[in-house]
């Protein structure tokens, strides 16, 4: 639970106050607040934004702005977190599948998971299936999140599962695909563990896997 005197940080995220969030974090640090407590307050703001999005009170543009606000806060906070680093909750590999250049949803997921204490390896856009498997094996990731906004790129996600199988780590790594063209029937068709077209729901699923 975040203390009352840090609620202003939570509120700044919810109010999408990208202009002032950096100064607010500076002030909290100067006041002697522990970096992990600041991070907790910021993360609560991101969770509130996610809840409002699911209730249709916030829209995609608000999610993007919340992500930008969080990133501005983390620019200030990151050096202090290196000194006082909490236990990593798990490792996640993210990327937009080969043939797709969209990254808005991926970036929102990255911000929300990073702020919640997960170690993220972002491969960027237009990522070949083999690269997902190689990175997961290299870093010991438990989850791969594949962004696929275009209907033409969604089927390529099946190859990520194939590459994991070839690498002998399919049983150790869960795969979730997300994007506007993704549907639940993709789970069975492409052999993934879950499929969502809602970034907040995707974050919830990944967190539930990692925190089990």
Catalytic residues: 100, 102, 153
Task: Give the integer Cα–Cα distance in Å for 98 and 62.
Answer: 27
Task: Give the integer Cα–Cα distance in Å for 72 and 26.
Answer: 11
Collect all residues with Cβ–Cβ distance below 8 Å to 208 and sequence separation of at least 6.
none
Give me the residue label for tokens 């002032």. 20
CA dist 118 → 28, 41, 143, 179, 191 (Å): 23, 16, 11, 21, 25
Q: How many CB atoms lie within 10 A of CB 183?
A: 13
Compute the 3-state secondary structure of the chain and give helix, strand, coil in percent, each to the nearest 5.
60, 10, 30
């Amino acid at each position: 639970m975040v203390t009352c005197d840090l609620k202003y940080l939570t509120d700044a995220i919810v109010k999408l106050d990208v202009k002032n969030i950096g100064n607010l974090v500076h002030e909290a640090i100067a006041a002697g607040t522990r970096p992990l407590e600041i991070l907790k307050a910021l993360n609560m703001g991101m969770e509130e934004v996610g809840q409002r999005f699911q209730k249709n009170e916030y829209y995609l543009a608000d999610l993007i702005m919340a992500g930008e606000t969080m990133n501005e806060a983390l620019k200030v906070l990151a050096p202090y977190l290196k000194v006082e680093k909490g236990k990593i909750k798990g490792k996640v590999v993210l990327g937009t599948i080969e043939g797709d250049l969209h990254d808005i949803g991926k970036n929102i997921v990255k911000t929300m998971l990073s702020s919640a204490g997960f170690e993220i390896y972002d491969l960027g856009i237009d990522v070949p299936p083999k690269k997902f498997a190689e990175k997961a094996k290299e870093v010991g990731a438990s989850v791969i999140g594949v962004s696929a906004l275009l209907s033409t790129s969604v089927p390529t996600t099946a190859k990520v599962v194939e590459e994991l199988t070839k690498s002998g780590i399919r049983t150790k790594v869960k795969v979730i695909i997300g994007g506007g063209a993704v549907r639940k029937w993709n789970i069975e068709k492409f052999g993934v563990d879950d499929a969502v077209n809602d970034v907040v729901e995707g974050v919830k699923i990944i967190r539930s896997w990692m925190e089990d």
